Chain A
Amino acid sequence: MSTAAAKSGQTAFGHILYVLKDNPVTLIAFFMFAVLIAMAVVGPSLVPYDPLASEAAVALQPPSWAHWFGTDSLGRDVFSRVIVATRLDLTISVAAVALSFVAGSVLGGLAGYYGGWLDAGLSRILDTIMAFPLFVLAMGIVAALGNSVENIIYATAIINLPFYARLVRAEVNTRREAGFALAAKLSGNRDLSVLALHIFPNALPPMMVQVSLNLGWAILNAAGLSFIGLGVRPPTAEWGIMVAEGANFIVSGEWWLALFPGLFLVIAVFTFNLLGDGLRDIVDPRRRT
């Protein structure tokens, strides 16, 4: 067993390396992902200025050596704020995606495996969620539950839930009657362990792709909500709210206020999307040798 596991790790790792060599874009995406994580972890302790400290004397200065990304209307350092915001934005999206991943896996797995009224009921609920334009539903949920960061996370998790639940449901459903699932039953596995130990692990690769693509979307969603004044409140540093603040100055030409936080937002989403595409290549069985 241990040798088999070691071998599997080795071959899987070998395969990943092989695909990465084949696809430098994915390699770059992995690198950018590492940089983002590093920014979120150590960024706040490395930035040159206090992200909340205002200094009226240097308000609205364009980028310079002292302030790489310029300063905002209160004289706060845009660079420091952009870096510090990484942690909050990533936390919101990771927490939301994790919640919907877990809930979606459990619900979708059970519905896909057992079918029947469970499946019908879940499908109805998911259909109803999907009957709302998702961003609008998130607005409604945050407005109803109250304007806080936690509620942004819950709202984002709820609107992401159908994607996971449906994906897992479909993946489990197509494998429910697969030979290896039947063989697992003949080997003495109960239904739940067939589902959890044999079928679900095979649904993981497409799930990981979905997670990666969804992380980008969750960031967009959270930033969009704070852009219209929901969730995160000033003076907290967050990319969406910084773009919103900068938007007021764009018509008078102070471009750096909106550009830099927006750019970081784009980079983060772009990274997750590239990563998702790359993961798709890695897990696609047709690309396996």
Chain B
Amino acid sequence: MDSITSAASVVAAGLAVGLGAIGPGLGQGNAAQGAVEGIARQPEAEGKIRGTLLLSFAFMESLTIYGLVVALVLLFANPFAG
């Protein structure tokens, strides 16, 4: 692999995870806020709210994981390595 390709791949891998973490981070914050408000309003529903919250967290997290998959492909199985 020539040096410009490897440099670009490493930078792109960092950006893929870093930028991909912004959106889900905001989303998880919003979801957690909603859950805390829900629990404060109705403490007896805590178990149900927690289950739903964790499930939706995992969905949001998978968006960052897609970025991570792209980063891993760039680092370990680079199609442009030649």
* A and B: bona fide binding partners: no
